[in-house]
Structure 1
Amino acid sequence: MADDHTHVQDFFSVRAADWDSRFPDDGPAYAAAVGELGLRPGDTVLDAGCGTARALPALRAAVGRGGRVLGADLTPEMLDAARRAGRGTSGVLLLADAERLPLRGGTLDAVFAAGLISHLTHPARGLSELARVVRPGGRLALFHPIGRAALAARHGRALSEDDLRSEPRLAPLLAGAGWRLAAYTDEDDRFLVLAVRTG
């Protein structure tokens, strides 16, 4: 597992410095997705695999000053870039693996995860770990600022139904990990899955 994590860290560490400048127009898409998570003032929310923490300002605005915002990422360079961008003021940044979070069970109201699922070493284990730290009835948003087809085209490959994020594959994966799929959107300009913690 360490080798898999090293691969993820290697991929993101060399991209951290210019990550935000590569995708300068994603802010409104992040804010819109956060808006659909149903957060309330005072909630506790985690941005899992937060990268440069682009979602943290919107998450902070949603939960207010009385809420708690956490951002966790495996790559120190991404967290450094988040701090340089001033996003550490919106929440607490943690160097942590989304598959082994340093949080007590059932302590979160929601998890926001942008692009995370494609980078989980063990997707079922990762989604189960996110379920572990969320209270029953809490919510999960799996987000990407462009849809599956647009992302595949960006990477020069064809869209495949074997893609982990296709609805037929993702729905049972979520169910097995303790989530109920509530909404599935895959459009050119957005991928957003909303799920509710069962139990």
Structure 2
Amino acid sequence: MSDDHTHVREFFTARAARWDSRFPDDGPAYQAAASELGLRPGDRVLDAGCGTGRALPALRGAVGPSGAVLGIDLTPAMLEAATRAGRDREGQLLLADVTQLPLRDASLDAVFGAGLISHLPDPAENLRELRRVVRPGGCLALFHPIGRAALAARQGRRITADDLRAEPNLRPLLDGSGWRLTSYVDEDARFLALAVRGG
């Protein structure tokens, strides 16, 4: 495992047991973000870096019983917390690395990534890997239940010009990875960037 992966796994392992209780009011924000993916009954969606699976109920609700919901995370403790919360009933949980997905090309309709981009070791390459598993015209949602400024304040830091989630940085990053940014919202109550996979 690379140093990046080890750091991410250690960070989330230390926080897994308390993750949901630290952020108990995020459910509606996840629900609203999932609804903007434009999922239809029967669609196939991946929650990349699913953590404790907080997006899985909303994603399952969008694709219905005939759809497929997959949650992938690098940290066993996060997936264990998702199972304890009963979210394994909403989708299949898989211990895997989002930088090397064990999925076929163009096998999904959409990817949802909550808090994902800041933990990717090579964002351009990793976004290309997410593109690989989504059909042409499929959607990517990069989400956080609070915006960049609110998150920075919570963490006691300032937003810097090199923040990958800033629109002037994110748009070319997505473009270079085969995605087209279609919507960008960064407000205190949420961050949501939607992109469509090119042909």
Question: Could you list the per-position Cα deviations for residues 91-143 of structure 1 after superposition, in whole angstroms to 9, with x for gaps in the alignment?
Answer: 00010111100000000000000000000111111111000000000000000
| Aligned position for 1:11 | 11
- What is the rounded CA distance, in whole Å, between the counterparts of 2:168 and 2:143 in structure 1? 17
* Identical pairs, percent: 73
| Aligned position for 2:107 | 107
- What is the rounded CA distance, in whole Å, between the counterparts of 1:48 and 1:130 in structure 2? 9
- What is the rounded CA distance, in whole Å, between the counterparts of 2:126 and 2:27 in structure 1? 26
- What is the rounded CA distance, in whole Å, between the counterparts of 1:121 and 1:190 in structure 2? 24
- What is the rounded CA distance, in whole Å, between the counterparts of 2:2 and 2:119 in structure 1? 14
| Aligned position for 2:66 | 66
Given residue 5 of structure 1, which amino acid in structure 2 is its aligned partner?
Answer: H
Gap runs ≥5 in structure 1: none
Superposition map of 1:3-152 within 5 A: 3-152=3-152
- What is the rounded CA distance, in whole Å, between the counterparts of 2:187 and 2:102 in structure 1? 34
Gap runs ≥5 in structure 2: none
Question: Could you list the per-position Cα deviations for residues 11-66 of structure 1 after superposition, in whole angstroms to 9, with x for gaps in the alignment?
Answer: 00010001000000000000000000100000000000000000001100100000
TM-aligned CA deviation for residue 160 of structure 1: 1.6
- What is the rounded CA distance, in whole Å, between the counterparts of 2:164 and 2:120 in structure 1? 11
- What is the rounded CA distance, in whole Å, between the counterparts of 2:3 and 2:114 in structure 1? 23
- What is the rounded CA distance, in whole Å, between the counterparts of 2:76 and 2:190 in structure 1? 27
- What is the rounded CA distance, in whole Å, between the counterparts of 1:184 and 1:41 in structure 2? 25
Helix, strand or coil at the partner of 1:101: coil
Helix, strand or coil at the partner of 2:127: helix
TM-aligned CA deviation for residue 161 of structure 1: 2.1
Question: Could you list the per-position Cα deviations for residues 141-179 of structure 1 after superposition, in whole angstroms to 9, with x for gaps in the alignment?
Answer: 000000000011111111122101000000000011110
Runs of 4+ in 1 over 3 A off after TM superposition: none
CA RMSD of the aligned region, Å? 0.6
Aligned length: 199
- What is the rounded CA distance, in whole Å, between the counterparts of 1:4 and 1:142 in structure 2? 20
| Aligned position for 1:156 | 156
Given residue 130 of structure 1, which amino acid in structure 2 is its aligned partner?
Answer: L
- What is the rounded CA distance, in whole Å, between the counterparts of 1:154 and 1:92 in structure 2? 32
TM-aligned CA deviation for residue 82 of structure 1: 0.1
- What is the rounded CA distance, in whole Å, between the counterparts of 2:95 and 2:29 in structure 1? 25
Helix, strand or coil at the partner of 1:18: helix
